Chain A
Amino acid sequence: MLDVRSCATLSEAAGILSGDRQALLIAGGTLVMRDVNEGRLTEGTLLRVTDPAFRQVNAGGARVEIGAGVTMAAVLANRDLAYLHAAARAIGGPAIRTMATIGGNLFAETPYGDFTVALLALGAEVVVQAGYGSGRAVPLEDFLAGRERGGAGQAQGLVTAVQFTRPQNPSDFLFRKISRVKPKGISVLSIAAHLPASGGRLVQPRVAYGAMAPVPMRARGVERVLDGKPLDQAAIQAAKQAALEGTRPATDAIASDWYRREILPVHLGRLLAGEPR
């Protein structure tokens, strides 16, 4: 049977996680409790973290840190995080957003995990604490690669927070989730783009996709063709041409891999051009 332990500090939770293979962190509950309710998770220990640091947001400065236990609703309530509101609002309905956390979203299986796509486009790092030591920052891309390799990313330790550099200009950050059902639906795909510009030209743009690979992925081909270019028709056309590089979408109940590939360039083009979906 399942037991539950409450941990007053992140270190305590990290220590238990590293020592007990049957221990599992529970934050908002939207992933773990479903597994409990449906009988996939019947043994082990659920760890609750009551440490306030787990729910802390430092969003005022250039370097942003959001605790892994911060909910989507808390993101939406934070004006300093306005550039992330579209991504936070893409997660579930209001009740889910009251519960679902940034940290949980990092573990959500495709085609879920749309908030992580936004973090990926922001070049976020994941703070992972293994054992009782202190946390270390891992590039989100590496973290996701580890998740894809190892199934549960939990083996890497306790995710305590995510960090990233705040976009200079919030309007440089774009996010769009394509779903069949409105206003709330599971992803056909999602796209996030951070497009900082200098002198009318894009500088090191970062673009990420959800549901186009087993885990959220960077669109390196798109980033390459956009880098150093003005965001004009020609650049958008080139981005659409490069859109599919590296994609490995799945066929699932929502859409086929074929369809995902067909519409990704379309939606990327519309997003970059500032057109409605």
Chain B
Amino acid sequence: MLEMRKEIFADERDDNLNVVGKGVQRQDMPGHVTARTRFFDDHAFDGLLHLKLVRSPHHHARIRSIDVSAAERAPGVKRVLRGADVPVNKNTLLSLINFGKDDEPTLAVDKVRYKGEPVVAILADSEAEALAARKLVRVEYDLLPTVFDVEEALKPGAPVVNETYPGNYFEYHQRFDHQKLRFGDVEAAFARADHVIEHRYQMSPIEHAPTETNGTIAAPDQNGRYLVHSCAQGLFFSLDTTAKIVNVPSNQLHFVGGTVGGGFGGKVDSLTEPLTVLGAMLTGRPVRYVLDREEEMLYGSPRGAERIYVKDGLMRDGRIVARYIRSYFDAGAYTRLSSYAAIKCTAHVPGPYSIPNVASDIYVAYTNRCPSTAMRGFGVTAVDFALECQMDRLAEAANMDPVEFRILNAYRDGDMKPHRRVAKNTALVECVQVAAEKANWPISEQARRASSLTGGGGERAQIPATPLDERGQIGRPDTRNGPATQTLPAGTTRIPLSKQPVFEGARDGKPAPVQVPRYEAPPRQNPPPYDPAIAPPSLQPAYQPAASAPPLPIPPAAPAQPQHGAVRFSSVFGTRRR
């Protein structure tokens, strides 16, 4: 049941609209109820081949030999593919935005790093024939030691899961084994807090479980092109990934999709497109490759598990004065998108609350399990679970009602967030108030009168002095407990404010027809220039007070690069692609 409360924030909206805001019927609904909606697999092709994979039965093993000769002779089999058949058999998804190193083969060559890793692909006239031939492939393995726990994986001497990242962690900024967040002095605040409360939380892996499994149909088309029916959540993301792996110009691929039977993040990895297109290229036949449900469940890349330690400093009056978070993303055997989630998680810390001292260390760890990927709430869902369970504990420790406690600590317009940007357009207080009201959860008059529009800013808008450290240098686990190295003065910023968004199209000089998006004017601060693509961070001045910084110059456009990919710009975080 849904109820609109139009009176709240009414003065910030113009509700005089024609169709926006109306509950009109979905464009796709008639197709759904008549079963006319066409999903990727709802296309007929004559001479369609079916692709099935031989997957690793082991969590971690060296491949001694692969014998496909019997499978190649099996009835109906048209082609058997191994790693050597894949033109560019090493990729990382975010190479399209130059983030991270290529670390994952399409078909395993030297070793397998998780149970279910693709090793051999079989293309046959029917699914039954492909399945029968699959039993004839002989792969010999030498088992290797395994590691499944994120913290065990980061210990010296742990089995190396993925040789591209020999420490079993993703490398951030070519310097650290984790992404840092430092805002104020958490240690000093813990020392003077009335309570210090620390707990460990564990988010489980989650399978996206869309009712439509991942799959692709690729067919040779006219002019040497290939028509690809895809269920990808990012059409060009998948097209560019495929073009890179099969090594063709992107305009040889014609991707059609956009109507997907559920995704939830489970269809961003291009799990099936590259091999299907490769199969079509090598056989000259249309090829269909659809994960079966067991493959989707076990090897279709889940939401990664996260282990999160939350340590809070709490005053008797209920104010949280410090929060430190140490978190481990379980990437599984390959990076996929976990490296990005850690950054998003860092931006989300410490949740929607105004806390004067905040720090976090977010690790991405490699283990011998199916690579994890994005899922609904990527980088946030698990942290919210941890933070909100922790908030319940803090409220209890402060002897406060949990609703009152949220409102007391809620962030409001004008508060400085730990990533050093000012909060705007906040509405947490109002949500808590309304939920409590509807649930008939009594709250105090003071809590009822609170507002996101007032009480923020002022002292809460300041960037505090912040101790820095060099903990967790790449390849040096001994540095993980190092001391603070220097203190950034209050008010320091180093990252230029985001440029104005490009919002192009309305260049006709005509009056705006209706409300159009506005983008806020940049704050008055002029941060110093900072571009790690030009100079590595270590060569930058350690800090530069904002007051003395020169105006921000417009960075030069990134040079065009000849590799595959839709978007090209230089590395902004993490390790650059090799």
> Among B75, B134, B292, which residue has its beta carbon within 8 angstroms of that of A1?
B75
Contacts of B75 in A (CB 8 A): 1
With known contacts A1-B75, A42-B135, A37–B292 Cβ distance under 8 A: yes
Chain A residue at minimal CB-CB distance from B135? A42
A2 adjacent to B128 (CB under 8 Å)? yes
Which secondary structure characterizes the binding site on chain A? Answer: loop
Chain A residue at minimal CB-CB distance from B132? A42
Chain B residue at minimal CB-CB distance from A36? B128
Chain B 199-223 near chain A by CB (<8 Å), digits 1 or 0: 0000000000000000000000000
Contacts of B427 in A (CB 8 A): none
Contacts of A274 in B (CB 8 A): none
Whole-angstrom distance between the Cβ of B125 and the nearest chain A Cβ: 11
Count A-B contacts at CB 8 Å: 20
A42 adjacent to B292 (CB under 8 Å)? no
| Interface check A39, CB cutoff 8 A | yes
Whole-angstrom distance between the Cβ of A198 and the nearest chain B Cβ: 51
Bound state CA distance, A36 and B134, in angstroms? 13
Contacts of B129 in A (CB 8 A): 1
Contacts of A37 in B (CB 8 A): 292
Whole-angstrom distance between the Cβ of B389 and the nearest chain A Cβ: 22
B294 adjacent to A1 (CB under 8 Å)? no
| Interface check B131, CB cutoff 8 A | yes
Mark out the residues of chain A between 69 and 85 whose CB falls within 8 Å of any chain B CB in the assembled complex: none
| Interface check B52, CB cutoff 8 A | yes
A38 adjacent to B294 (CB under 8 Å)? yes
A38 adjacent to B292 (CB under 8 Å)? yes
B294 adjacent to A43 (CB under 8 Å)? no
Contacts of A39 in B (CB 8 A): 52, 131-132, 134-135
State which size class the interface on A falls in.
under 10
Chain B 113-139 near chain A by CB (<8 Å), digits 1 or 0: 000000000000000110110110000
Contacts of B134 in A (CB 8 A): 39
Bound state CA distance, A1 and B75, in angstroms? 9
Whole-angstrom distance between the Cβ of A34 and the nearest chain B Cβ: 10
Bound state CA distance, A12 and B134, in angstroms? 33
User: How many residues of B are counted as interface, with CB atoms below 8 angstroms from the partner's CB atoms?
Assistant: 10
Bound state CA distance, A36 and B292, in angstroms? 12
Whole-angstrom distance between the Cβ of B129 and the nearest chain A Cβ: 7
Contacts of B131 in A (CB 8 A): 38-39, 42
Mark out the residues of chain B between 259 and 303 whose CB falls within 8 Å of any chain A CB in the assembled complex: 292, 294
Bound state CA distance, A2 and B129, in angstroms? 10
Most buried by B among A37, A38, A39, A43: A39
Bound state CA distance, A97 and B522, in angstroms? 64
Contacts of B132 in A (CB 8 A): 1, 39, 42-43
Contacts of A2 in B (CB 8 A): 128
Mark out the residues of chain B between 468 and 515 whose CB falls within 8 Å of any chain A CB in the assembled complex: none
Most buried by A among B52, B129, B131, B292: B131
Bound state CA distance, A1 and B124, in angstroms? 13
Chain A residue at minimal CB-CB distance from B130? A39
Mark out the residues of chain A between 28 and 81 whose CB falls within 8 Å of any chain B CB in the assembled complex: 36-39, 42-43
A42 adjacent to B128 (CB under 8 Å)? yes
Whole-angstrom distance between the Cβ of B376 and the nearest chain A Cβ: 21
Whole-angstrom distance between the Cβ of B70 and the nearest chain A Cβ: 14
Bound state CA distance, A38 and B52, in angstroms? 10
Mark out the residues of chain B between 292 and 330 whose CB falls within 8 Å of any chain A CB in the assembled complex: 292, 294
Chain A residue at minimal CB-CB distance from B292? A38
Mark out the residues of chain B between 125 and 183 whose CB falls within 8 Å of any chain A CB in the assembled complex: 128-129, 131-132, 134-135
Bound state CA distance, A39 and B52, in angstroms? 10
Whole-angstrom distance between the Cβ of B119 and the nearest chain A Cβ: 15
Contacts of A1 in B (CB 8 A): 75, 128-129, 132
Known: A1-B75, A36-B128, A39-B131. 10 other contacts (CB 8 A): A1-B128, A2-B128, A37-B292, A38-B292, A38-B294, A42-B128, A42-B131, A42-B132, A42-B135, A43-B132
- 18 interchain pairs, CB-CB under 8 A: A1-B75, A1-B128, A1-B129, A1-B132, A2-B128, A36-B128, A37-B292, A38-B131, A38-B292, A38-B294, A39-B131, A39-B132, A39-B134, A39-B135, A42-B128, A42-B131, A42-B132, A43-B132
Interface of A toward B, CB cutoff 8 Å: 1-2, 36-39, 42-43
Query: Closest 9 interchain pairs by CB?
Result: A39-B131, A42-B132, A42-B131, A38-B292, A39-B134, A38-B294, A42-B135, A1-B128, A1-B132
